[in-house]
Amino acid sequence: MRVISVVGLSKSGKTTTIEEIIKELKRRNYSVGTIKEIHFHGFKMDVEGTNTHRHRMAGAGTVTARGDSETDIMYDHKLDVNTILSYYAEDFVIMEGVRDTSAPKIITASDEEGIEAKWDDTVFAISGVISTSLKEYKNLPVIDGLTRIEELVDLIEKVAMSPLPDVDRDCCSVCGYSCTELSERILKGISKREDCVIDDLSTTLTINGKKIYMVPFVEKILRNTILGVAKELKGYSHKGEISICIKR
């Protein structure tokens, strides 16, 4: 799965640009998922009076509305982006308005102030309303998603990458940088996605089938603890894999 985020002020062309990106990716036979950040404080899908709302009011945590054409699972709290992404299996996920991620970003803007308002070093292109009047900004291409979508999606295919773990710098800086700094370096072509060592750790942890990221420090504790116990057991072999399943 490869991920990007499209960020921009209101009415700058985010959703229109994303619609065109989705259509072009689909035309190229990719599966596509999306995540939309809602900035409206207090936003809720569920409305007062529905049965699912009554379930929530009665104290339910996760509530699911299961219909013939749609299934909506509603959590009672905001999930972090990588947790949400772990439920996706599409080739590409396009996020709208998500900024708390190291994923490469497109800014949509109406003017240069709009670009600056969302600027950071994980941005690889500009699009939206401003692209009819500007061709380049700070050495980044400005591409109109309505008239040059193939060019924009060529670029997305080139830079979109599987999400970095986005852990705190205090927890991991094994690559020599923070996750966001590594993402910036990958975009500049001076580091590679493989420089994040987390995917290569020899101990993996899954909970309900979902892979849980562990920073090297935690992986070492888990690995040494399990190996320390396993070594004392009859049948232990120092070769091959060890699997543990904890049922709750």
Task: Specify the residue, 9 or 172, whose C-beta has the smaller distance to ligand SF4.
Answer: 172
Q: Judged by CB under 6 A, which of 35, 90, 165, 205 binds ligand SF4? A: 165
Q: Which stretch binds ligand SF4 (CB under 6 A): 18-26, 78-86, 126-134, 166-174?
A: 166-174
Q: Does 82 help bind ligand SF4 (rule: CB under 6 A)?
A: no
Q: In sequence order, what DSSP letters do the residues of 18-87 get, joined into one string?
A: HHHHHHHHHHTT--EEEEE---STT--SS-TTSHHHHHHHTT-SSEEEE-SS-EEEE-SSPPPHHHHHTT
Closest to ligand SF4 by CB, 134 or 218 = 218
Nearer to ligand SF4, 198 or 222 (CB): 198
Would you count residue 3 as binding ligand SF4 (CB under 6 A)? no
| Residue 226 touching ligand SF4 (CB under 6 A) | no
Closest CA to 64 of 48, 79, 50: 50
Cα(54)–Cα(52) distance, rounded to whole angstroms?
5
To ligand SF4, the closest distance from the beta carbon of 161 in angstroms equals 11
Least distance in Å: CB of 214 to ligand SF4?
10
Cα–Cα distance between 80 and 212 in angstroms, integer?
A: 13
CA dihedral (14, 184, 99, 140) in degrees, to 10, reads: -20
Among 155, 174, 222, 230, binds ligand SF4 (CB under 6 A): 174
The pair of structure tokens assigned to 5 is 């985020």
Of 6, 85, 107, 175, which lies in the binding site for ligand SF4, with binding defined by CB under 6 A?
175
Contacting residues for 67 by C-beta, under 8 A, at least 6 apart: none
| Binding stretches for ligand SF4 (CB under 6 A) | 164-165, 167, 172-175, 177-179, 182, 196-198
